[in-house]
Amino acid sequence: MTRYYLAIDIGASSGRHIVGWQEEGALRTEEVYRFKNGVTEADGHLTWDVGRLEREVRAGIDAALEKYPGLESLSIDTWGVDYVLLKEREPVLPCYAYRDSRTETAVPRVQGLLPFEELYARTGVQFQPFNTIYQLYADKLAGRLEGVTGWLMMPEYLMWRLCESAPPCGHEYTNASTTGLLNAATGEFDLEIIKRLGLPESLFGELCQPGTPLGEYKGIKVLLCPTHDTASAVEGIPMENGVEGTDQLFLSSGTWSLLGAKLPQAVTTPESRRANFSNEGGVGYIRYLKNIMGMWMANNLRAELCPGEDFPAIVRAAQESAYPGLVDVTAQRFMAPGSMSGEMSAALAESGFDAPKTCGDYFRCAYRSLAKCYGESVRELESLTGRKYATLYIVGGGAKNDFLNRLTEEETGLRVVALPIEATALGNLKCQIRAEEESQC
């Protein structure tokens, strides 16, 4: 009898409900529901409408059940770092988005209590102003933690709402590893960090591993996959099994580009810290990676300059352009600019380049700058791990961009294998299938 599973993969710009099943030794999939996602501006802050997200999740499950009434299980993955505070069973709103600027005052306060050199040595997590550690401290400064009884990362919250379990489910390891609050050596919450920041210790319990069952929704088992979307994506890439000795890298190319390797243990050296590499949890390994600007830059340019144009035409225009300018795609100025083209033009002028004249010029600059950053990051990664790599697997939306793939091959010197697949959903599904098989042993 064929068993069907549902992966709900929610990114910063869209969500997808994908049903998967095994057929003739292969994992087949069908997308049954898709919805738009995005931040909402409220009172000068960027927030997530968690109520709408929950409604879309439920609507997509109904659509899946209509076509596949015998669903075995489901799981949800999303981006990392963001969370929902709880007072008993009620969410504390608004739910802030990671691109919001509210951590500007929290970052120096945290680093005054815990210098980043020490923080990185303990956690191995790269500095990003939106890391959960800074968001939670911003909540503390604003008094938002008063009376709070729990907090859940975004996918945990949505699954808890489906199951209506009490108390709320625990934190899943791969997503918790993005918070900047886990000890890299133990893989558990670092209570020394939590004490020194004065965060309520009662909010930080034991972690749950992918495969942990949470409950049921409409007769469907709800369980944890690797709930951080990049962790699921890496599980979905057909890389060699094992960690030791592999000469392969991965690049999950979406709103963000996550470039890295599977390692048996974290790298928390001062050199790794200075290069801003991160150690995040995988399923039995460390995802050693760098968080790089991804399609966010191109998506913003398109919305601003040519909203009616499709990306194949945009890529052709970029290929036909001869514009020579490059920008530093990791610069904070590109995180949430009022005008992406304006910010790029300003950065280019500061570097002595004339302003781009056409849409193709802007996109050529974006793609070439991104590929250059990939190349620099690969060389850093090789130096930090003491390994040489031969192949780079690219998955996600960016894998469809042949021009960017060619530029990446040139800049990295690696063989690029582009897999325009729903790697995140595949990894989510593989974990569910594995959990089902193990439960029958």
402 is catalytic: no
- Find the farthest-apart pair of alpha carbons in the chain and give their distance in angstroms, rounded: 65
DSSP string, 127-178: P-TT-HHHHHHHHHHTTTTTT--EEEEHHHHHHHHHHT-SSPP-EEHHHHTT
Residue 291 bridge partners (DSSP): 258
Give, in order, the Cα–Cα distances in Å from 121 to each of 48, 102, 335: 32, 25, 26
Out of 100, 139, 190, 229, the active site residue is 229
CA distance 29 to 229: 17
| Neighbour tally for 202: CB within 10 Å | 9
Structure tokens at 249: 């890298």
Contact 16, 59 (CB under 8 A): no
Q: How far out from the chain centre does Cα 241 lie?
A: 22
| Helix (H) / strand (E) containing 359 | helix 359-385
Give me the active site residues, please: 229
